[in-house]
């Protein structure tokens, strides 16, 4: 380790030299109260910025252990520190000048969800903080401007570090609130299954977002209010008593006229698998953490998936117990999404008719009379929704505004009426009696087989050069293949998508062997992340990228959409 004055001298020496001389700055430097590590230096001022990290010793940072000993509190504190640092970094970013990315100072941009990220991690025992950031090393053209870098490293960064990473300089009340909220959300999550619930939406929650491109809460929205029949009151450790709508396990329908807030409620439930920051409006919207949003996804690939519980006797004679396609239809894609979710351990499925394949959801009576069941390869979800719960314990929450077909199968029917939910179960059930079900009851399907054992692909062998690129939230490309994750709707952040790319590469290199099942592969990935954190995914000399942790369900989703995966 060198001293910060040695770094200062080095900067003076390389000033005005050509850009590659910046490479000499790689290394670790002791600053007052922290160690600055220059992990990777960019090749030129227009390339991806340099990667730096800051380590603050636990004794210096001095956060009370109660803030980080429990994992959920630690994730919340890491998230808060990242936001604190980001706010300060934004103020100094591009204050140092030059060409290209010169002067950039950045960390992860956190959204409404609280996620574990490589940007900031705390050691649960010692309280040491590791914060990763990117800095654009300044230059004029390709000539080093080391004086500007000196500004960043010796003026701006110390201020950011002092302000954001030292407990004594932070607002203790605010940190208490962050920890308390994390504690409450965790408590809610553990209470749900004990109460027989698969989701909870607190009264007063704000569900709609400001716009299609902003995840901030809508202003002036109608606050959520539980129907009395579904109201549940709970006791949370910090907030105390809280009342809201508890959605029991089983089959729940959300109905109501167009534009009455059905999809908005479902969307909030989809993201209720994550914790939310204070002020989001969905802090106390909590869903079964294994919940998966199911939708139609025409065009996706399917690899040897047993969709026979929904699809049988295709006209081309294809085997639907090990179904393979490069270009799925609406119904086959949705069937695969359901079965894969079961494989991924989902105990709650979320569906919206807006994004479902009609022929997968229902087949009306008249059509059943004209086209006999034997001529129709699709067993609609309607005929399996009860079976999924009764035999497999998998609940469904389904938005269905345009068909009453599910009334018979549902345990609960909630009507959204001008953004206010009403329990209309009794009424809807009464009406449904006037439309008795016809047709012979269906045989239960054979339980799907989950025995895919993917093989590694030689192009990813250790030592081979691999090109991995995150394409925002919507996909990731690995060598020549682009994995389309647009319709994996519960991905909340582009850094999660990037992490999926690294998961896939790690699996290719270390886990796929034709013996482990897909489930074992994902379990090993998750246990690696639990034990060593996200940074364990990348052994790159170019520094650790900004990644956020995806759920196991999304790791499955990524592997399942990988066209080159050989099972
Ligand atoms: P549906 O699925 O029933 O057709 P949406 O959930 O798409 O309806 O909601 C329709 C519109 O109403 C959206 O623009 C949404 O932002 C808005 N909205 C939803 N919930 C609320 C609410 N609680 N308060 C105010 N506006 C809302
Ligand atoms: Mg809708």
Give the pLDDT of residue 376.
Answer: 87
Ligand nearest to the CA of 355: 2
Q: Which atom of ligand 1 is nearest to the CA of 209?
A: 16
Instruction: Give the burial string for 263-297 (b: 16+ CB within 10 Å, else e).
Output: bbbbbbbbbbbbbbbeebbbbbbbbbbbbbbbbbb
Write the pLDDT tens digit of every residue in 27-52.
999 999 999 999 999 999 999 999 99
Whether 516 contacts 567, CB under 8 Å: no
Question: 285: helix, coil or strand?
Answer: strand
What's the rounded mean pLDDT across residues 214-243?
A: 98
Write the pLDDT tens digit of every residue in 409-422.
999 999 999 999 99
Mean pLDDT (the chain, rounded): 96
Write the pLDDT tens digit of every residue in 423-468.
999 999 999 988 877 767 788 999 999 999 999 998 998 888 899 9
Give the pLDDT of residue 435.
Answer: 84
Write the pLDDT tens digit of every residue in 69-126.
999 999 999 999 999 999 999 999 999 999 999 999 999 999 999 999 999 999 999 9
If you write DSSP's letter for every residue of 452-483 in order, what string do you get? --PBP-GGG-TTS---EEE-GGGEEEETTEEE
Give the pLDDT of residue 403.
Answer: 84
| Chain length of the chain | 567
Of 215, 264, 400, the one to substitute when testing ligand 1's pocket (max ligand atoms within 8 A of C-beta) is 264
The response to whether residue 419 sits with its C-beta less than 6 Å from ligand 1 reads yes
Q: What is the residue whose two structure tokens read 């929450």?
A: 397
What's the rounded mean pLDDT across residues 295-306?
A: 97
What's the rounded mean pLDDT across residues 236-265?
A: 97
Q: In this structure, are strands 27-31 and 2-3 parallel, antiparallel, or unpaired?
A: parallel
Give the pLDDT of residue 447.
Answer: 95
Q: Is the pLDDT of residue 481 over 80?
A: yes
Give the pLDDT of residue 497.
Answer: 98
Q: Is the pLDDT of residue 539 over 80?
A: no
Near ion ligand 2, which residues have CB within 5 Å?
263, 354
CA Rg value for the chain: 26
Write the pLDDT tens digit of every residue in 88-101.
999 999 999 999 99
Alpha helices in 103-220 (DSSP H): 146-151, 157-165, 172-194
What DSSP element (H or E) covers 389? helix 385-392
- Among 343-357, 369-383, 427-441, the range with the most confident prediction by mean pLDDT is 343-357
The set of residues, in sequence order, having a beta carbon less than 8 Å from that of 320 and lying 6+ positions away, is 306, 307, 308, 311, 312, 314, 377
What's the rounded mean pLDDT across residues 237-262?
A: 97
Give CA angle at 309 (307, 315), nearest 5°.
65
Give the pLDDT of residue 32.
Answer: 97
* pTM of the model as a whole: 0.96
Q: Is the pLDDT of residue 62 over 90?
A: yes
Q: Is the pLDDT of residue 540 over 80?
A: no
Of 261, 397, 418, 420, the one to substitute when testing ligand 1's pocket (max ligand atoms within 8 A of C-beta) is 261
Phi, psi of 290 (to 5 degrees): -95, 5
Q: Which atom of ligand 1 is nearest to the CA of 260?
A: 3
Q: C-alpha distances in angstroms, 96 versus 32, 90, 91, 267?
A: 22, 12, 11, 42
Widest distance between CA atoms in the chain: 88
Phi, psi of 237 (to 5 degrees): -60, -40
What's the rounded mean pLDDT across residues 390-414?
A: 94
Tell me the percentage of the chain whose pLDDT exceeds 70: 99
Q: C-alpha distances in angstroms, 355 versus 182, 361, 471, 485?
A: 32, 11, 23, 15
Ligand nearest to the CA of 259: 1
Look up residue 424 and give its DSSP letter. Answer: -
Whether 541 contacts 333, CB under 8 Å: no
Give the pLDDT of residue 211.
Answer: 96
Q: What is the residue whose two structure tokens read 């895919």?
A: 452
């Amino acid at each position: 380790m060198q001293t910060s004055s040695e770094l200062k001298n080095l900067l003076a020496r390389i000033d005005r030299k050509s850009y590659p001389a910046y490479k000499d700055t790689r290394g670790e430097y002791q600053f007052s109260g922290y160690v600055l590590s220059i992990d990777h230096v960019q090749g030129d001022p227009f390339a991806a910025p340099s990667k730096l990290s800051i380590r603050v010793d636990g004794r210096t940072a001095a956060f009370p252990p109660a803030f980080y000993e429990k994992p959920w509190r630690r994730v919340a504190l890491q998230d808060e520190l990242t936001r604190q640092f980001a706010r300060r970094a934004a103020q100094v970013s591009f204050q140092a000048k030059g060409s290209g990315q010169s002067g950039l100072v950045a960390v992860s941009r956190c959204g409404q969800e609280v996620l574990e990220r490589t940007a900031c991690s705390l050691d649960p025992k010692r309280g040491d903080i590791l914060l990763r950031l990117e800095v654009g090393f300044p230059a004029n053209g390709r000539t080093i401007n080391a004086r500007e870098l000196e500004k960043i490293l010796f003026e701006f960064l110390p201020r950011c570090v002092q302000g954001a990473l030292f407990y004594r300089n932070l607002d203790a009340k605010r940190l208490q609130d962050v920890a308390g909220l994390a504690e409450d959300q965790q408590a809610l999550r553990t209470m749900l299954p004990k109460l027989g619930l698969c989701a909870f939406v607190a009264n007063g929650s704000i569900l709609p977002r400001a716009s299609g491109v902003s995840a901030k809460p809508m202003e002036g929205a109608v606050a959520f209010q539980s129907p009395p029949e579904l109201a549940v009151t709970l006791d949370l450790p910090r907030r105390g008593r809280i009342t809201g709508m508890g959605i029991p396990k089983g089959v729940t329908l959300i109905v109501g006229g167009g534009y009455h807030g059905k999809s908005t409620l479902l969307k909030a439930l989809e993201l209720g698998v994550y914790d939310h920051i204070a002020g989001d409006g969905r802090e106390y919207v909590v869903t079964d953490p294994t919940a998966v949003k199911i939708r139609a996804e025409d065009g996706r690939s399917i690899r040897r998936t047993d969709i026979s519980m929904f699809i049988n006797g295709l006209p081309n004679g294809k085997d639907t117990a090990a179904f393979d396609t490069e270009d799925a239809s609406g119904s086959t894609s949705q069937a695969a999404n359901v079965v894969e979710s079961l494989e991924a351990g989902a105990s709650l499925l979320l569906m919206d008719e807006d994004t479902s394949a009609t022929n997968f959801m229902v087949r009306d009576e008249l059509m059943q009379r004209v086209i006999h069941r034997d001529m129709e390869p699709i067993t609609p979800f309607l005929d399996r929704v009860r079976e999924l719960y009764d035999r497999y314990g998998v609940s469904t929450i389904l938005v269905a505004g345009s068909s009453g077909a599910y009334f018979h199968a549902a345990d609960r029917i909630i009507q959204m009426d001008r953004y206010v939910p009403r329990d209309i179960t009794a009424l809807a059930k009464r009406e449904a009696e006037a439309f008795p079900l016809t047709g012979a009851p269906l045989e239960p399907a054979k339980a799907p087989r989950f025995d895919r054992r993917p093989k590694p692909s030689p192009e990813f062998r250790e030592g081979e050069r691999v090109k991995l690129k995150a394409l925002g939230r919507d996909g990731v490309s690995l060598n020549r293949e682009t994995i389309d994750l647009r319709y994996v709707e519960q991905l909340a952040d582009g850094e999660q998508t990037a992490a999926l790319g690294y998961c896939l590469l790690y699996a290719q290199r270390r886990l796929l062997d034709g013996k482990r099942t897909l489930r074992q592969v994902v379990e090993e990935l998750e246990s690696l992340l639990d034990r060593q954190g996200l940074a364990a995914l990348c052994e790159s000399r170019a520094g650790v990228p900004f990644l956020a942790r995806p759920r196991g369900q999304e790791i499955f989703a990524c592997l399942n959409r990988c066209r080159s995966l050989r099972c």
